[in-house]
Amino acid sequence: MSSFSIEHRLRKPAQILDIKGFLDAHTAPQLETKLESIIREGGYNIVVNFRELDYISSAGLGVFMVFIEEVRNKLGDIKLVSMQPKVFTVFDLLGFPMLFEILEHEDEAIANFRDAGNESENG
C-alpha cells in the first residue's frame, strides 16, 4: 500500500523509534524486527514516537503487545508519544491507554524514564 519507515536514535536513558507512514499487516514485521533487535541488545527503555505515523491497523497495534511483557519484566517500558488524534482513537478503543503510557510529548517520556531510573537507583 504505502510506505513505512523507522528511524532509531538514542536519547538517554531511552531508545527512541520514530515511525513514519503506514503501520499495517505488511509493515508491522519491520517494526517487530526492529523492536526485537533493540531488546536483544538490552534496550528496555523504549519510546515510540508516533508524530509522523499516519495510519495504524489492527495488525500494527498487535506489535506492541508482543514485547510489553518481556520489557516490563526487565523493569523497562515501551512508551508511546505524540500520537495524531485518529491514531490515538484506535489505541483508545482497544483499551491501550490502560496498558501503555501514552504521552503528548517525547520529553515527558524521557523524564518519566529518568524518574523511574532515579527511583530504582534510590530504591
Partner 1 sequence: MVAIGSVSSLVFLDVLHTPFDHTVPPLVLSLKIAAALGFILSAALLILRRSIRPSYSVNAGNLFRQAVSFVTASTIVLLVCSVVLPLSYTSANAPANTLTLILGVALSIAAVLIALRQMYWLDNLVLLRRSKYTNRLRGFIAIGMLGLMMFELYRVISGATTDVLTSILLTLICILFVAITIKRPWLNSFSKKEKLKGTLASFTACIFAIVLLGTGFGEGDSLLQSMNLLLPGTQYILLCSLLFSLVYFVRVGFSLFIALPTAGVVDRKIREVRSLSALSRKITQINDSQELLDTAVKMVRDVCGASSVWIELFDEEGKATVTARKNISDSQLHFLNADGVLSKLLRVQRHGLYVENMGEQPELRSLYPKVMKFARSMVAVPLTLEERSVGTLFAIHREEFAFEAEDVALLLAFADTVSIAIENARLFQSSLEKERFKSELMVARDMQQKLLPKTLPEIMHLDIAAYSSPAFEVGGDYYDFVTLADNRLCIIIGDVSGKGISAAFYMAEVKGIVLAQASECRSPGELLRKVNRSIRGHIDKQSYITMTALAIDPTNGMVSLARAGHTPLMHKHGKGVSLLTPKGFGIGLVNAAMFDPVLEECDLRLAEGDRILLFTDGVNEAQDEEFNELGYAPLETILKNNTSQRAELLLGDVIRQIAEHSGGVAQHDDVTIVTLLCTGQLAQQTVTPARNVEFAGA
Give the helix/strand (H/E) hosting 17. strand 14-23
The three cell numbers of residue 61 are 497495534
User: Is residue 63 a contact point for partner 1 (CB under 8 A)?
Assistant: yes
**Sign for the pseudo-dihedral over CA of 37, 43, 45, 9:** negative
Report the number of secondary-structure helices (H) and strands (E) in the chain: 4, 5
* Of 99, 104, 107, 118, the one binding partner 1 by CB under 8 A: 99
Q: Per CB under 8 A, does 65 bind partner 1? A: yes
Complex with partner 1: residue 75 or 99, whichever CB lies closer: 99
Of residues 42, 85, 98, 123, which one binds partner 1 by CB under 8 A?
98
Q: Which stretch binds partner 1 (CB under 8 A): 45-53, 57-65, 73-81, 112-120?
A: 57-65
Counted residue by residue, the chain has a size of 123
Nearer Cβ to partner 1 (63/80): 63
φ/ψ of residue 76, rounded to 5: -100, -165
Grid cell in block for residue 16? 527512541
- Alpha carbon of residue 51 to chain centroid: 12
Of these, 11, 20, 22, 112, which contacts partner 1 (CB under 8 A)?
22
Provide the binding-site residues for partner 1, judged by CB under 8 A.
1-2, 22, 25, 28, 32, 54-55, 57-59, 61-63, 65-66, 69, 86, 90, 93-95, 98-99
